[in-house]
């Protein structure tokens, strides 16, 4: 889940350029960071724990350098464990994304050879394995061979970049974990996400598995990992251009991206009808359709299963992405597996898709990042076009997924225009819910709930996935224990957790579930629950009413916003960073 970036080219303030790129990759991890540049016969390194913030470097000008922002897997959050890791001779440095599953045996092998490791990380074994074989040679091609040989010893999904000071090269190789190569006027680049290349690269190429690439001041050369035969990189124009991480007057990216949602939904309605028709055709032709996703994407997928039942009378299966590989046995060459992912790099999703492809299933994708691994693997890929999402919490890509699934369900039932009109209606209601008066009401609730031990969200039918997503938003950013439940399950154990003053977020749209969910809310209130009703009706059971106009099947789009705002306001009230919650990263590229 770490962010990595490297550069080789004309001499410049490479350290500051790398640090700026790492800020754009910090959504992948912000436990610690480090930058290394090759200069005057050694590798100069600066690294620190914590977020980058406004940090500045004191590194000399250089023509080669790289950097890393870390999400800790092996070893604590310490300066010694931060990347880059440099070998004792000072010739080789390594940065890494992934998990080396056999690092213990490799570490024991290195220590038995008399080399001392100074960190707790799995990454450091790569430095010693490469440096030991490079001693005595200054041939760039030999560096490629040695890095390839070492990489073959690593088990798991990994991406590494090796800086060899003696040859002035960066050598990069991957297995599943993403790497993007870029070239521009000043030199060549490599990163874990093309967002980091937007300001520099005029062309990009996605490195595939079993490929290894070497960058120097003459350009980028790719090789087959097995044969070391030269390969041509598939250069293309970047899909993210001129990207700038600007808040545009908002206090944080979470608030900015919450406010961008009405326009995202309008874009789905006006621009993605063709994509919805295409996916509807795939679903119609399949014998068994499966929606998979992780975290927030899983709740969008679960919502989709309800929408297809209600709108198109079509059964689709929902499976959590990280569990899907354990249920592969029912897949056939007539199955359709539709994967939902913001980044297109979520490792649990990629592994599930690989499993499905091995079974002959067709792959659909709802993905926000064009050119991502999932995008390239899919037989039919629908781009969400939600724009870059920098807050770790997913907001606008969640609503884009739900909107596109709703539109696809209407397309499958031959009612595309009805679906488009409903999305436009929902977008207007979403905009109304972001009026300052509405957000002030949410802020007042956050002030009341900020010291609460627990919060519960409940819904029935189409609102059940919304309750799950609301609870996730609140707990991941405010660190308040929050759980979402189906309203009918309260009496089967959950109600034992309710005590005087317990916040209960109740989703009560005007559908067939209304009477039952209000009955459940009454039961909660009789046990002391403080009831916050999200509904078009102000029922007497509500202690606080959050009004939302009824939009029928599009209710998951409108009801998501109060939960997102409550999570954000709770974080602020508790003095927390809304964009970078502890222990989390946005693109989960490790198992």
Going 564 to 570 to 573 to 575, the CA torsion angle's sign is negative
Choose the catalytic residue: 256, 396, 401, 586: 586
Question: Does residue 190 sit in helix, strand or coil?
Answer: strand
- Contact, 369 vs 344, CB < 8 A? yes
Q: Mutual orientation of helices 296-312 and 396-412 as an angle, nearest 10°?
A: 20
Q: Contact 4/161 with Cβ under 8 angstroms?
A: yes
Preceding amide of 237 cis, omega within 30: no
Residue 504 annotated to the active site: no
Contacts of 121 (CB under 8 A, 6+ apart): 74, 75, 81, 83, 85
Under a CB-based contact definition with an 8 Å cutoff, are residues 15 and 65 in contact?
yes
Rounded Cα distance between 360 and 15, Å, is 46
Of the candidates 2, 188, 294, 504, the residue annotated as catalytic is 2
Active site residue 385: no
How far is 386 from 389, CA to CA, in rounded Å? 8
Apex 389 CA angle, 296 and 411, nearest 5: 60
The full DSSP string for 357-393 is HHTT-EEEEEESSTTSHHHHH-SEEEE-------SSS
30/2 Cα distance (integer angstroms): 8
Catalytic center residues: 2, 586
């Amino acid at each position: 889940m770490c962010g990595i970036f490297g550069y080789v080219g004309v001499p410049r303030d490479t350290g500051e350029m790398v640090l700026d790129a790492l800020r754009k990759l910090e959504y992948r991890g912000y436990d610690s960071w480090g930058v290394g540049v090759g200069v005057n016969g050694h590798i100069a390194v600066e690294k620190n724990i914590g977020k980058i913030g406004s940090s500045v470097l004191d590194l000399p000008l250089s023509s080669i350098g790289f950097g890393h922002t870390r999400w800790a897997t092996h070893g604590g959050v310490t300066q010694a464990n931060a990347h880059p890791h440099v070998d004792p001779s000072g010739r080789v440095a390594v940065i890494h994304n992934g998990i080396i599953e056999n690092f213990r045996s490799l570490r024991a092998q290195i220590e038995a050879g008399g080399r001392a490791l100074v960190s707790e990380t799995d990454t450091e074994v790569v430095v010693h394995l490469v440096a030991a074989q490079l001693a005595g040679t200054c041939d760039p091609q030999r560096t490629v061979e040695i890095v390839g040989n070492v990489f073959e010893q690593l088990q798991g999904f990994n991406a590494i970049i090796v800086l060899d000071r003696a040859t002035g090269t960066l050598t990069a190789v991957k297995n599943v974990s993403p790497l993007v190569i870029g070239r521009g006027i000043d030199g060549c680049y490599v990163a874990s996400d093309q967002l980091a290349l937007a300001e520099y690269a005029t062309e990009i190429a996605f490195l595939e598995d079993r490929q290894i690439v070497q960058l120097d001041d003459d350009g980028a050369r790719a090789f087959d990992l097995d044969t070391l035969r030269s390969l041509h990189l598939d250069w293309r124009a970047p899909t993210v251009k001129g990207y700038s991480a600007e808040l545009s007057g908002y206090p944080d990216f979470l608030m900015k991206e919450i406010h961008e949602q009405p326009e995202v939904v309008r874009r789905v309605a006006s621009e993605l009808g063709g994509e919805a028709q295409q996916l509807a055709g795939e679903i119609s032709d399949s014998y068994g359709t499966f929606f998979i996703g992780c975290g927030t994407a899983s709740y969008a997928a679960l919502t989709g299963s309800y929408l297809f039942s209600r709108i198109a009378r079509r059964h689709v299966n929902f499976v959590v992405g990280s569990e899907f590989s354990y249920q592969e046995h029912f897949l056939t060459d007539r199955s359709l597996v539709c994967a939902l992912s913001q980044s297109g790099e979520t490792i649990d999703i990629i592994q599930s898709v690989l499993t499905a492809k091995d079974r002959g299933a067709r792959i659909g994708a709802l993905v926000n990042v064009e050119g991502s691994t999932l995008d390239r693997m899919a037989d039919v890929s629908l781009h969400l076009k939600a724009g870059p999402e920098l807050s770790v919490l997913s907001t606008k890509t969640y609503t884009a997924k739900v909107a596109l699934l709703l539109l696809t369900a209407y397309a499958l039932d031959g009612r595309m225009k009805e679906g488009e009109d409903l999305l436009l209606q929902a977008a207007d209601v979403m905009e109304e819910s972001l009026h300052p008066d509405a957000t002030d009401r949410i802020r007042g609730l956050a002030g009341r709930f900020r010291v609460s031990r627990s919060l519960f969200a409940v819904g029935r039918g189409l609102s059940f996935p919304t309750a799950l997503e609301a609870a996730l938003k609140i707990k991941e950013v405010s660190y308040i224990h929050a759980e979402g439940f189906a309203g009918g399950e309260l009496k089967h154990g959950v109600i034992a957790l309710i005590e005087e003053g317990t916040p209960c977020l109740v989703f009560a749209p005007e559908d067939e579930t209304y009477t039952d969910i209000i009955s459940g809310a009454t039961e909660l209130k009789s046990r002391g629950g403080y009831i916050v009703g999200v509904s078009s009706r102000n029922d007497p059971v509500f202690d606080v009413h959050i009004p939302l106009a009824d939009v029928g099947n599009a209710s998951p789009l409108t009801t998501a916003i109060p939960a997102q705002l409550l999570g954000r306001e709770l974080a602020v009230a508790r003095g927390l960073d809304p964009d970078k919650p502890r222990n989390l990263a946005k693109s989960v590229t490790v198992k």
